[in-house]
Chain A
């Protein structure tokens, strides 16, 4: 009953936004709330079920965004002929070098020879990789660099990018989990922090793949364009019949379309997550979380289970990332900030209630709502405080200007207060 009330309260807040500000803003918050809820579900699997501390959410989200580009954008034929083969060849060489190094490491006996062989393989391999790879990159980036200068994607329907985003994120999670799981918990945190920064650096700098900071814009959409709706006489007629302005109505309808798609995905992920949590597998996970030693004594392979759930959770974050990029219609690598994409998701999980999927969903909506609305609220607060001060005074300007930075402060405060006074979150684990 309490949970229903909590959801109703968040729903009321969003409806209130629709009534006081505009339905466009309200739906915008709702759509990102849906995406945030999916991200929070992914983190909740890792933290709530298994106690894994992943602070690389941003990286997995960005990989999902990359998938949207790689799947959805049309291929750039000229770039493929110019350097596609070289780049693919270079990547194969790179992969081959790593495989060779791993083989050398596992097959040869321990000692100085092995170390030397590894170093030689890696150094020679690195230069070989660069010599094949670099000219290809150069050739691709020279192709019509103002508009293209990258390989483009596969030109498939963008909805396919969502599962692909999950797969990419899962691959990265496998590599990082293999290294850092099984060591102490803080190490996973540092390792994920690192991989997230690296993913962003790759997106920003590998122009042949993601156009880097030049951004990929105009991703294909799974829903119709506003302009097309406005020019569709049938649509205009219908909207006129219910007395709505066709321009506003078209963007509301588009947002509703996204919302419908997102609700389907959220529904599936939530259903799967709940089913998994209630199954013997879910009980095993919680048993491992609560007492690793005991679980290990019962014959459970703790590290393997951790790897499994780490990959699953990261894949969910990847799916959410692909959805978000689809919603934005563009990939802007410079916009990925850890405070926004990693730590905010953590606030969602903790505030919502770690270990409870419904809690994660609630946290996703609530915290996203706060994140959007704290700024206008802060501005209002600051102008009320400073209204007594003379127009144009230093302090007044400073206060008004700093209102924009209220967000982080508020989020930190919310996190600390919840951890202190309601450590189990709004909807506690049962």
Chain B
């Protein structure tokens, strides 16, 4: 029994908790991608760099607050800086839409051209971020590191295995739940949200019923900017902030959005967790957990790690390929075929 509990705690500590936090971050990222896809009908390659830019804005505001001596005690100052960071990101994204995307929207160009345009935007954002903050690692988490540390947990329960919950992980999950709840309330209950869904379902019909397309597009960008900024900041708090890693997040984020079904918000969340759990479970060395759970003679002598962590992209990719082969519309019947 003790063995089982120890194994369970090790599983929670090394697999479930990190994967849940990562999944929440991916879900928020994928929501942004899927909303753009639903309303503006293209895959936004600049999304990763929008996240990087938003996080950079938050970091700069955090530094400002720290210089003023404002803080939240055990909670990272970044949360206080988040609203202003979101506003800055919204400003950038709306400016981009005004200067770049609107022109193409009026011309009704093919979606793939918009993807190429978003590639140009990606370059510019990436350049901006590097220009302002530089390409190096930034650590801006100044809160307490642990909600429960492994040692406290061991003392509390008397188990051999410790369970550590980092503050950033707890904040990630709480923030993600809040953001998603507000988003779904907005999409399903408010008039504007409903007009957005109508626009996504059938553009012509929505136009006939008097929905202003420019307004819907602007609101979409605002929501997407807020989501990107929050997702980026949470990821940066939890892992570390390096502009380049945000570009690499593009693949798991797109995989999550496609696995869930492009254009489907609920699918994006499910997809985020599917991708995160598979990545962590396939790249985790199971030896420790299995030692507790299996009878002694079956105990493995290798690490029981299916793939090295360097191949975590391969996992998102493999899932993506499986979904593309067997169910191209995704788990939740997105609109894309």
Residues of chain A touching chain B, judged by Cβ–Cβ distance below 8 Å, are: 51, 53, 55, 126, 179-180, 183-187, 189-191, 193-195, 197-198, 201, 204-205, 338-339, 343, 346-347, 350, 401-402, 405-413, 415-416, 419-420
Contact = CB atoms under 8 A, between A and B. Distances in A.
B145 interface: no
A140 B115 CA distance: 44
A333 to B, nearest CB: 11
A-B residue pairs, 4 tightest by C-beta:
A412-B123, A409-B127, A412-B124, A405-B130
Contacts of A126: 306
Contacts of B254: 190, 193
Nearest to A187: B324
A316 to B, nearest CB: 20
A197 B248 contact: yes
B309 to A, nearest CB: 10
B298 to A, nearest CB: 14
A413 B125 CA distance: 10
B293 interface: no
B256 to A, nearest CB: 11
A339 B123 contact: yes
Contact of A191 (B120, B247, B262, B324): B324
19 contacts: A53-B112, A53-B115, A183-B324, A184-B336, A186-B262, A189-B43, A189-B112, A190-B320, A193-B254, A194-B251, A194-B313, A198-B314, A201-B314, A205-B310, A411-B127, A413-B120, A413-B123, A416-B117, A416-B120
B64 interface: no
B313 A198 contact: yes
A412 to B, nearest CB: 3
Interface string B141-164: 000000000000000000000000
Contacts of A190: 43, 251, 254-255, 258, 320
Majority SS at the chain A contact face: helix
Interface of B: 42-43, 45, 100, 103, 111-113, 115-117, 119-128, 130-132, 134-135, 247-248, 250-251, 254-255, 258, 262, 306, 308, 310-311, 313-314, 316-317, 320-321, 324-325, 328, 336-337
B251 A197 contact: yes
Contacts of B130: 402, 405, 408
Contacts of A51: 112
Given A204-B310, A205-B308, A412 B321 contact: no
B247 A338 contact: yes
Given A184-B337, A189-B112, 18 more contacts: A185-B111, A185-B115, A186-B112, A186-B115, A189-B45, A190-B255, A191-B317, A193-B251, A195-B317, A201-B313, A204-B310, A339-B247, A401-B134, A405-B130, A409-B123, A416-B117, A416-B121, A416-B124
Contact of B131 (A184, A187, A205, A409): A409
A212 to B, nearest CB: 9
B42 A186 contact: yes
Contacts of B100: 416, 420
A190 B125 CA distance: 20
B50 to A, nearest CB: 13
Contacts of A413: 120, 123-124
Given A179-B325, A205-B311, A420-B103, A191 B111 contact: no
A288 to B, nearest CB: 14
A183 B337 contact: yes
A402 B325 contact: no
Contacts of B258: 187, 190
Contacts of A411: 123, 127
A416 B320 CA distance: 30
B274 to A, nearest CB: 16
B301 to A, nearest CB: 12
A402 B127 CA distance: 10
B245 to A, nearest CB: 12
B123 A186 contact: no
Given A339-B123, A339-B126, A402 B131 contact: yes
Contacts of B310: 201, 204-205
Nearest to B320: A194
Contact of A415 (B111, B123, B308, B314): B123
Contacts of A205: 308, 310-311
Given A186-B112, A205-B308, A420-B103, A191 B320 contact: yes
A174 to B, nearest CB: 14
Nearest to A418: B120
B313 A197 contact: yes
A193 B311 CA distance: 15
Nearest to A338: B247
A416 B251 CA distance: 23
A201 B311 CA distance: 6
A412 B120 CA distance: 5
A393 B318 CA distance: 51
Contacts of B117: 416, 419
Contacts of B125: 412
A195 B103 CA distance: 32
